[in-house]
Structure 1
Amino acid sequence: MSSSAVQLAKRFREVLLDGTWIANTNFKDQLTNVTLEQAIAKVDSLNTIALLTFHIHYYIAGILNVFEGGDLEIKDQFSFDLPPINSQEEWEKLLQQLFKDAERFAALLEQMPDSKMIEVFVDEKYGTYQRNIDGMIEHAYYHLGQITLIKKLIG
């Protein structure tokens, strides 16, 4: 039996990079061929695909910083502060950063000892590492569903 950290890393990769078990898709699959025009297309009051992509990356990068020994510097109030994306290249750079950071997140996670999973994540108010990693996976699936639906709505 593999460790819980390895299992969490596998689940994280499934939603972000390569899985099809839960949603029959993943972020990489859904976003790889999205054009800038599709990414910034507004459907009623829904968030754009670009904004949801930025939002998920914001949290991954913030937790990744903690995994790498840094502080938790992210704040919920800034998680939708997407700077303007003015070109296909800028959009693709955002995607590449998301996928790179997601892989780094998973790689660091699978190296953690299981004992780390029950440790406090930064501050007691945030709960344990396990709770935050599970939350990140669940949060990613929530927004993956939105992205999938928005793609269908914009055709």
Structure 2
Amino acid sequence: MLEPVVKTAPIILQDAPGADAGLTAWSRRVAEAPPRRPLWEAITTARRAIAGDAPARRARRVFLMVVFLWVLNIGDLTMTMIAHRLGQFEELNPVARGLLDCPAALTVFKLALLALSSGIFLAFRRVRLTEIACGGMCCVYTALTFVWTVYFQDIML
């Protein structure tokens, strides 16, 4: 069963001691309200409340991207060594070019650079710029993986 809707008139506070004549309870509450904050402060507060654990989520994403970079870099190292053994490969990196004849030295060099960059990424994992840089590196190494795929498809045909 539906309840009837009852509308009441605002209460006039004329008779109340210390009340301004003619003010309703609502208008008095508005008049006594603290001043509003600027819009940018309200937006910033709302963003912080919504984001909450954003640095923790960012740290997790950076960690996962670093793991992805390790997988892609080990694949790149493997493909570099295979292409060098096939004899149809020219390394453009002058440091790596000198190490191609010694696979152990190339592996140590590549893994040392990877460990150093991973350490930097993980040390600053809660910083937004780190996430952007790590994502950029993932894009570059993903593109390089596609280049290796096309390279080996051309060799096999």
Q: Which has the higher contact order (CA 8 A, sep 6+)?
A: 1
Q: Give the shorter-chain TM-score range.
A: 0.3 to 0.5
TM-score for both structures, normalised by structure 1: 0.48
Q: Which is higher, the Rg of structure 1 or of structure 2?
A: 2
TM-score for both structures, normalised by structure 2: 0.47
